Chains A and B, each alone.
Chain A
Amino acid sequence: MGISHLAILGAHPEVEIVGVCDTSKMMIDAIEKYSGFPCFTDHIKMLDSAKPDAVFVAVPTKFHAKMVEELLRRDIHVFTEKPFCLNPEEGNLLVALAKQKNLINQVGYHNKFVGTFQEVKRIVDGGWLGEIYHFHGQAYGPVVVNPKQDTWRSKPEDGGGCLMDYASHVIDLINHIIAPVSGVKASMLKSIFSKDVDDAVYAMLELSNKVTGLLTVNWSDDTIRKMSTSITINAKKGKLVSDANELKVYFKDECPEGYTKGWNIKHVTDLTHEVAYYLRGEEYSAQIDYFIRAIHGKVPNNINHFESAWLTDRAISLIRKEYTLTNG
């Protein structure tokens, strides 16, 4: 992921790249040779020498807590990839520290910058669906599709597994659109091809507003070309089904402007704000631009801040606890 962040930042007119750090010598050599950015293989040396205003952390999750703490102590604004930390205990200190130091902090849950999901949030917040009584968050895709894979994502101690990776996106979306997960009624973590981590997550969740629903996530599904995330919301005045491309919503009675009673379909093509530079999806550029603008004080630091990502870490830990409790 780091390479995409670098490209988006490289194209951003208000950003100067003062250092790139990676442990892969091959990667660093190529970047130094063809991009001309100053390169490092030790991040502390990079911080001492480059003295950045902000740092993007795109490393295996197990390094997040230590690295982010170091950055905050040095008064550096931080964007870190998801999930935030290995557990909510690690994240607690960072949430407090970022607040105390008044530093801009953001985590890469990019779905909040996807046009369709932004529209879902607007419809739900407007109360157009009435009282929600059920939801279903889902994600499928082809990450681990045979038994022979060995990266940090296959190691539990490094923050691997489908729950930490794919599922965190869906949980974060549920937290954001409806309410934060506060309890887990049942959970199943299934290994399909992996030896040591889960490849699928099935859970029954309860939110802080007492709404209950399901979470179904599987990263070993190679019938899907690339990750597909969706949310279904059943409510007393309507129903909504949305993925990143298409939003289908049914209004029983009243509806917001631009919609009619009954079924409506909206596409991401009509809900997407243009970005200055595009790579792999508007949302990736949009989230980075938001972070940069927050540093400049042009927007509030209120989307994907550490505190909201911490709520997702907490939900992950609740799902894991429930599974351990019932399965030993």
Chain B
Amino acid sequence: MDRILFGDNQFFAVNHISDEKSMAQSIRFKDDAAIIKTLDYAIEAGVNTFMCTTHDRIANICQVIRDNPEKYRHFKIFPCMPYAHKYANAVTELGIAGTLKQYVPGNFVGSLFKGGVAFLSKDYMAIMELLIDAEMKMFKGLNTPVIFLQNVITDLLLGLKMTDVLVTFHDYVAKKYRAEAGFITMNLPLLLDVLEEAGIKNPIVCSSINKAGFRMSGGKALYKKTLETRKFRAIAMQVLAGGATSPKEAIEYVCGLPNIESILFGASSRNNINETVSLINQFDQKAIKITI
């Protein structure tokens, strides 16, 4: 995985700081062209991985990438599924069976053999595999070396103790897409316990890691210890969280932690992208100097 990954929250009005900013972002990125332009700024800054949800609009972005193979030759996408709001809204509207009918490819309860049989025999794992295929359709032909399960699902399964489902996800993306599975979570230490026990070795786990201690369930100290002592491939997200911490302090903190393979961040403007990338590069260099 690259050291720096570019996220997509800003494109879809996901803002943990302010509802007002969220609306401003929704206006700013109304057109797909604005998203593409921002991705190009990230590429210019040297960031070549886009970690994104399976939001409907990402399908359009994928098409632009497919249409410009030369320009995006080194570009990687890390899909994160599912885009939970899509399903939550569908469940409210259509119920569980109706939602499956809508999103599983083919005529789910009818002619499609795998879907129909899975539904009738309550083979939930087969249903999940069909849903993964449905979510992956938009990325056809693109380089997707890591496929993530969104935190809302990872953490729900963690609480429900449905470890088998996590394992099935892990195995299926490896088998079908020759990709590594990644897990996004707000409960890093708990998730590692469960994955390790289930025999998933050295998993890719993306979680909130920041100086403010925001969304680090179990506390900052436990996260630090986890990074120092557990074997996993860590991605830090929400690194800039906390209004009281300056970007410089925030990046210095994360770059100073051990064993973080990648840092995920999102930004709307060229300036903010360049600033964050250069801060990460700057503090990475400092960290290297100290260890030599």
Chain A positions near chain B (C-beta within 8 angstroms):
3-4, 6-11, 24, 26-27, 29-31, 33-37, 142-143, 146, 148-149, 151, 153, 223-226, 228, 230, 243-246, 265-270, 272, 274-280, 282
Q: If A26-B122, A143-B92, A278-B215 touch, does A270 touch B190 (CB 8 Å cutoff)?
A: no
Q: How far is the CA of A279 from the CA of B122 in the complex (A)?
A: 26
Interface 9-residue window, one of B9-17, B31-39, B102-110, B270-278:
B9-17
Tell me if A277 and B187 are in contact (CB < 8 A). yes
Most buried by A among B159, B164, B213: B159
**Which residue of chain A has its CB nearest to the CB of B155?**
A279
A33, B155: Cα distance in complex, Å: 18
Q: B19 is contacted by which of A9, A29, A230, A272 (Cβ under 8 Å)?
A: A230
| CB neighbors of A among B82-98 (8 A) | 85, 89, 92-93, 95-97
Give Cα A228–Cα B17 distance, bound, in whole angstroms.
13
Chain A residues lying within 8 Å of B200, measured Cβ to Cβ, are: none
| Contact assessment for B124 and A225 in the assembled complex, using a CB-CB cutoff below 8 Å | no
- 20 A-B pairs besides A4-B156, A270-B242 with CB distance below 8 A are A9-B159, A11-B187, A11-B190, A30-B122, A36-B161, A142-B89, A143-B92, A153-B92, A230-B19, A245-B16, A266-B243, A267-B242, A270-B243, A272-B214, A274-B217, A274-B219, A276-B217, A277-B217, A279-B155, A279-B159
Name the contact of B93 in the complex, choosing from A9, A148, A266 (C-beta under 8 A). Answer: A148
B15 touches A245 (CB 8 A): yes
State in angstroms the CA–CA spacing of A282 and B16 once bound together. 13
Q: Are A34 and B159 in contact (CB under 8 A)?
A: no
Q: A26-B96, A267-B243, A278-B215 are in contact. Are A10 and B161 (CB under 8 A)?
A: yes
Shortest Cβ gap from A12 to chain B (Å) = 9
Q: In the complex, what distance in Å separates the CA atom of A268 from the CA atom of B186?
A: 16
Q: How far is the CB of A95 from chain B (nearest CB, A)?
A: 31
Inside 8 A of B243's CB, which chain A residues have their CB? 265-267, 269-270
B292 at the interface (CB under 8 A from A): no
Bound together, the chains give a CA A6 to CA B162 distance in angstroms of: 12
11 A-B pairs (CB sep. < 8 Å):
A3-B156, A3-B160, A7-B159, A36-B161, A224-B23, A244-B19, A265-B243, A269-B17, A270-B244, A276-B218, A279-B152
- Tell me whether B160 and A6 are in contact (CB under 8 A): yes
Q: Which residues of B contact A282 (CB under 8 A)?
A: 215
**Out of B14, B17, B217, which one reaches A246, CB within 8 Å?**
B17
Number of interface residues of B (CB under 8 A): 46
Closest to B27 in A: A223
- Describe A's contact surface by its main secondary structure: mixed
Other-chain residue from B17, B122, B152 in contact with A29 (beta carbon distance below 8 A):
B122
A27–B159 contact, CB under 8 A? Answer: no
Among B20, B85, B122, B187, point to the contact of A225 (Cβ < 8 A): B85
CA distance A268 to B26 in the complex (A): 21
**Per-residue 0/1 for B140-171: is the Cβ within 8 Å of any A Cβ (1 yes, 0 no)?**
00000000000010011011111011000000
CB nearest neighbor in A for B161: A35
How distant is the Cα of A228 from the Cα of B13 in the complex, in angstroms?
13
B216 in the interface (beta carbon within 8 A): yes
CA distance in complex: A27, B17 (Å):
35
* Most A C-beta atoms less than 10 A away, residue of B160, B165, B217: B160
Choose among B93, B124, B162, B219 the residue that contacts A149 (Cβ–Cβ < 8 A): B93
Q: A34-B162, A274-B219 are in contact. Are A245 and B13 (CB under 8 A)?
A: no
Contacts of B187 in A (CB 8 A): 11, 277-278
- Residue pair B218, A225 in contact (C-beta under 8 Å): no
Q: A243 near B19 (CB under 8 angstroms)?
A: yes
B241 at the A interface (CB under 8 A):
yes
Q: Give the chain A neighbours of B93 by CB distance below 8 A.
A: 146, 148-149
Task: Contact check, B162 vs A35: say whether CB atoms are below 8 A apart.
Answer: yes
B226 CB within 8 Å of chain A: no
Q: Which residues of A contact B23 (CB under 8 A)?
A: 223-224
Q: Which residues of A contact B160 (CB under 8 A)?
A: 3, 6-7, 10, 31, 34-35
- In chain B, positions 229-261 with a C-beta closer than 8 Å to chain A are 241-244
Instruction: Pick the residue among B18, B156, B218 that contacts A245 (CB under 8 A).
Output: B18
Task: List B contacts of A277 (CB < 8 A).
Answer: 155, 158-159, 187, 190, 217
Q: Are A274 and B216 touching (Cβ within 8 A)?
A: yes
Q: Which of B15, B26, B158, B241 contacts A223 (CB 8 A)?
A: B26
How far does the Cβ of B249 sit from chain A's closest Cβ, in whole Å? 14
Do A7 and B158 touch (CB < 8 A)? yes
Knowing A30-B124, A243-B19, A269-B214, say if A225 contacts B13 (CB, 8 Å): yes
